Amino acid sequence: MAAKGLFNVQCKLLICDVGRILEPNNSISRPLLCYQQNRGKRIARPSKIAPRPWFVRKKATPHMKYLTEENKELLDNVALHQYKNQPSPLRDEPWPRNEWTPSVRRAGLLGVKIGVQPQWKKDGTRILCQLIQIVDNHVIRYTPPEEYQKSLGYKPMSPTCYGSLVVGAMSTHPWNYSKAYHNLFLEAGVPPKRKLTRFLITPDAAIQPGTPLSVHHFKVGQYVNCSAKTIARGFQGVMKRWGFSGGPASHGSTKFHRRPGSISSGMDRGIVKGKKMPGWMGNDWRTLSNVKIWRINTKYNVLYVSVGIPGPHHGYVRINDSVTHKIKQKYVEAGKQFPMPTYYEDDATEPYPEDIYDEELFPMTENSITFEQTE
């Protein structure tokens, strides 16, 4: 009888996948919670700010307060010793490596915006470049498509051919984080990371957990998609948020300088869903697609990329291969190959130069540009 009661509870909790969960063989480690779909264009802002319910608690209660300085130093040393001498998961047999084809979707990187600088092309035109640094990236976990579809991160009705790969950036001091957060990194064998992201990839581009990722994952001249969170501007009116023209400045207009005007017509219809209205602006994921990589600095792991990426200074950026069909065809015609599934240090036959420039870009180490005389 207890099972029957449990069934009722689960039916209330779950809207979409009731049958799949009641199968006896399926074992799901993550908590079962309602994934309610939000329809319409905009989703309520607080739900976006709050972390997803299946995320583990990140920060631990501070216990370091009462320790003496010698003991704090000891704990630092122990952490360093533990992570440096840990048996790496990479010592097992490496996973099979495939060749790049246009149907492959590779993993991406997690970077930080560090500034904008001008650069010049070889014909003398000036362009602006966004600098993105990639600080200490590692692969944390890979889940194949079959398991990924059972998890709560999977959105219903989305394509089933992708698995998920988690990438983390910036290894931090382990004593500040909870035990549940530590357990995420057991498989990869790296210290806990400050920031995590997930990329959807095809199974032939899967990377073993624990492998470091660097700038060489991409090539110069490649086109990428960059997505980041826009600057949060709080509750804004209709003119700033959606670019409405507002009302007239004079000619008898009272209290109607920045208003939206009429919202809808008729008593029965009501307001259309997704109507542009005042509300919370910014703090939202936006992608800039097909951004060119102009230059790579291998010493500091910095990408020089076309300008226009959303977000403030020192904001996180997800960088991914572009998915445009025409661009992929150009790669195939040029016979380009990308490091699959990623770049390994053993691949390098020659040491890389400090700066790798695009063919069109002017290297700053060369003499100034001159044009030849033609008749």
Partner 1 sequence: MIRFPLKSKPRKFKYVLTGCGSGPQERVDFLKKMVTSLIRHERIEGRADKMHETRAYAEQLINLAIQHGDRHEPTMKMADEWLLEKDLVHKLFKVLAPRYQQYATAFTSVHLLPAEYPGQGRFKAVLELKGNPYPDIIPRERETRYLLTNILLSAAGRDFYAEQNRLQELNTKSETVVKDSQEVNTSYENNVSEISIKDNVKVASSTDNFKESDQTSVSK
Partner 2 sequence: MPTMSGLYLFKQCPRLVPPVIDAAKCNIQLISRSLYTVPNETLEKQRTSPLNRNPELRKQSKHRVLNSKEVSEFRDRLPEFLPNPNPEHRDRISEILERQDMVNRRRNIDIPEFYVGSILAVTIADKYAPGKDGRFVGICIHREEHGLRHKFILRNVIDKQGVEIMYEMYNPLILKIEVLKQEKRLDDSLLYLRDCPLEYSYIPQDLKGQMIHKGVQVPVNKTKVPLGPRPWSQRWDRFDLKGVEEFTDWRSEKARIRALESRQHPQVAKPWEKVDLIKHYKENINPVEAEEIYGEVDKDSKNWKND
Instruction: Spell out the residues 6+ positions from residue 201 whose beta carbon is closer than 8 angstroms to its own.
Output: 105, 106, 107, 162, 163, 164, 165
Does the footprint of partner 2 cover residue 300 (CB under 8 A)?
A: yes
Does the footprint of partner 1 cover residue 87 (CB under 8 A)?
A: yes
Instruction: Spell out the residues 6+ positions from residue 278 whose beta carbon is closer than 8 angstroms to its own.
Output: 235, 236, 237, 238, 241, 260
Task: Find the binder of partner 2 among 138, 141, 292, 328 (CB under 8 A).
Answer: 138
Does the footprint of partner 2 cover residue 309 (CB under 8 A)?
A: no
Picking from 300, 345, 330, 94, the residue whose alpha carbon sits closest to that of residue 206 is: 94
* CB closer to partner 1, 87 vs 335: 87
Number of residues that bind partner 2 (CB under 8 A): 55
Over the window 91 to 130, marking each residue x when it contacts partner 1 by CB under 8 A and - when it does not, the resulting string is x---------------------------------------
CB 197 within 8 Å of CB 138: no
Task: Find the binder of partner 2 among 171, 176, 236, 289 (CB under 8 A).
Answer: 171
Does the footprint of partner 2 cover residue 366 (CB under 8 A)?
A: yes
Residues 296, 297, 300, 303: is their CA dihedral positive or negative?
Answer: negative
In the complex, minimum distance from the CB of residue 29 to partner 2, in angstroms, rounded to a whole number = 27
Question: Is residue 187 helix, strand or coil?
Answer: coil
For residues 106 and 104, give the distance between their C-alpha atoms in angstroms, rounded to a whole number.
6
Q: How many CB atoms lie within 10 A of CB 10?
A: 13
Q: Which two tokens stand for residue 355?
A: 């700066």
Picking from 198, 201, 278, the residue whose alpha carbon sits closest to that of residue 236 is: 278
DSSP 364: T
Does the footprint of partner 1 cover residue 36 (CB under 8 A)?
A: no
Does the footprint of partner 1 cover residue 337 (CB under 8 A)?
A: no
DSSP 183: H
Over the window 68 to 107, marking each residue x when it contacts partner 2 by CB under 8 A and - when it does not, the resulting string is -----------xx--x------------------------
In the window 53-82, what residues touch partner 1 (CB under 8 A)?
A: 63, 66-68, 70-71, 74-75, 77-78, 81-82
In the complex, minimum distance from the CB of residue 27 to partner 2, in angstroms, rounded to a whole number = 33
Q: How many CB atoms lie within 10 A of CB 42?
A: 15
Does the footprint of partner 2 cover residue 136 (CB under 8 A)?
A: yes
Q: Which two tokens stand for residue 347?
A: 């691949």
Residues lying near partner 2 in the complex (CB under 8 A): 45-46, 49, 79-80, 83, 112, 114-115, 117-118, 120, 123-124, 126, 131, 133, 135-136, 138, 170-173, 191, 194, 212, 228-229, 231-232, 234, 280, 282-283, 297, 300, 302, 311-316, 362, 364-373
Residues lying near partner 1 in the complex (CB under 8 A): 63, 66-68, 70-71, 74-75, 77-78, 81-82, 84-88, 90-91
